[in-house]
Amino acid sequence: MGTLRHIVKIEEADCKDVSKYYAVAGHSVVVTESANFKEINTVGLIEVTEESSYDENERIWTVTIKYTSPCKTPEGTRRKVYQLTDAVGQRYLVGSASRPYPVVKESNPYPSKANGQILRDVTISYKSKEGMRKIL
């Protein structure tokens, strides 16, 4: 269990864009196909937490990503994969081309004051046997 710190960028792509990748030692992955990742506009820090637990002697990973954005998430396919980049440039992949897919929860605030900010809190959760994988 641990918290990954200093995530400076989050990007998303359709899950079909990373249909060709292969896992290597541990929690690492090589993406063999060029995915069309698009950066998500965020305000403030991006929080990422990765936890593990055991279910019937099988290790299950839960990755939670939280960020604030001034933009509404575009409608369309919700089957997304996410690429996270940390402060030293290391990239991580969250999600895969097949089930289970990451689940996105978004709050759309309606401020009570005329000068209130409309910032959306977004939480992405991904529960799988792989968890968050380092991109080599």
pLDDT per residue as tens digits for the range 77-93: 578 999 999 988 999 99
Give pLDDT, residue 32: 61
Give pLDDT, residue 40: 92
- Report the distance separating Cα 85 and Cα 94, nearest Å: 11
Mean predicted lDDT score pLDDT of the chain: 83
Q: How far is CA 78 from CA 4, 51, 74, 81, 82, in A?
A: 24, 23, 9, 9, 12
Which tens digits make up the pLDDT trace of 8-28?
Answer: 999 998 888 777 666 666 677
- Judge contact between 95 and 112, C-beta under 8 A: no
Q: Which of residues 81 and 72 earns the better pLDDT score?
A: 81
Give pLDDT, residue 75: 57
Q: What percent of the residues of the chain are helix, what percent strand, and what percent coil, each to the nearest 5?
A: 5, 55, 40
Question: Which tokens go with 8?
Answer: 């400076």
61, HSE (Cβ side, Cα atoms, 13 Å): 20
Q: What is the mean pLDDT of residues 87-116?
A: 84
- The model's confidence at residue 109, banded by pLDDT at 50, 70 and 90, is confident
- Judge contact between 84 and 70, C-beta under 8 A: no
